[in-house]
Amino acid sequence: MSDDTEEAANVSGLPAKMRDDEIEGVRRVRAALVLAQLDYRREIAALSQRGYDVADIARAVGVPGYKFAETVRVAQETAPIPEGFSGATVREICQRYFLGQITQEQVIHELTTWDYAIPEPRELGEFEEYEELPPSPPNSLNDVVQACQDGVLDGTTYETIIRAVMKRRQA
């Protein structure tokens, strides 16, 4: 591997000898697992909200009832998908795009119209020169940045989204 390739691998956060194409399959499976879990929870929550008994739902899906009550509780706490979007979070929308569940046009539309959380303003001088900044709030524009860094959002789509959001904020 050339020095240029090793440097590029380090920029993406991967170990020097690991390339994006080598980890792509793992990224896809991980995203699929996360989305499957969210979809499963939302389906369970929907059945529960329709009034079905926990034991009946457990029997229908083939899960022991004694384990299923906690599953239903967690499912009911899972954020619903807002109208007009394909995910409840910025990350979920990016993962659905990454797996081909939504188009590039759709991810761009959703993430340029998303109501991003804005970090709380900090007073000048609150941080020491090299102090680590506090984490961004969930569903902030930083989640789009992170999705690109994690390889679930391609650079072209990322740039289109960022430009459109910045343009919208300036309007």
Pair 92, 166 in one domain: yes
- Domain span including residue 22: 1-78
Please report whether residue 124 resides in a domain: no
Query: Tell me, what's the pLDDT at 149?
Result: 92
Query: Tell me, what's the pLDDT at 129?
Result: 56
Pair 20, 102 in one domain: no
* Sequential DSSP letters for the chain: --HHHHHHHHHTTS-TT--HHHHHHHHHHHHHHHHHHHHHHHHHHHHHHTT--HHHHHHHHT--HHHHHHHHHHHHHSPPPPTT-S-SSHHHHHHHHHTTSS-HHHHHHHHHH---B-PPP--TTSS-TTPPPPPPPTTBTHHHHHHHHTTSS-HHHHHHHHHHHHHHHH-
Pair 7, 39 in one domain: yes
Pair 48, 68 in one domain: yes
Q: What is d(CA 149, CA 27) in angstroms, rounded to the nearest whole number?
A: 12
Pair 110, 41 in one domain: no
Pair 94, 162 in one domain: yes
Query: Tell me, what's the pLDDT at 108?
Result: 98
Q: How would you write the pLDDT of the chain (171 residues) with one tens digit per residue?
A: 444 444 443 445 656 667 777 888 999 999 999 999 999 999 999 999 999 999 999 999 998 888 888 999 999 999 999 999 999 999 999 999 999 999 999 999 999 999 998 877 665 555 555 556 667 788 999 999 999 999 999 999 999 999 999 998 887
Pair 7, 58 in one domain: yes
Pair 71, 14 in one domain: yes
Pair 100, 165 in one domain: yes
Query: Tell me, what's the pLDDT at 22?
Result: 80
Pair 141, 67 in one domain: no
**How many distinct structural domains can be found in the chain?**
2
Please report whether residue 46 resides in a domain: yes
Query: Tell me, what's the pLDDT at 19?
Result: 74
Pair 98, 20 in one domain: no
Pair 70, 1 in one domain: yes
Query: Tell me, what's the pLDDT at 113?
Result: 96
- Residue finishing a domain among 45, 61, 78: 78
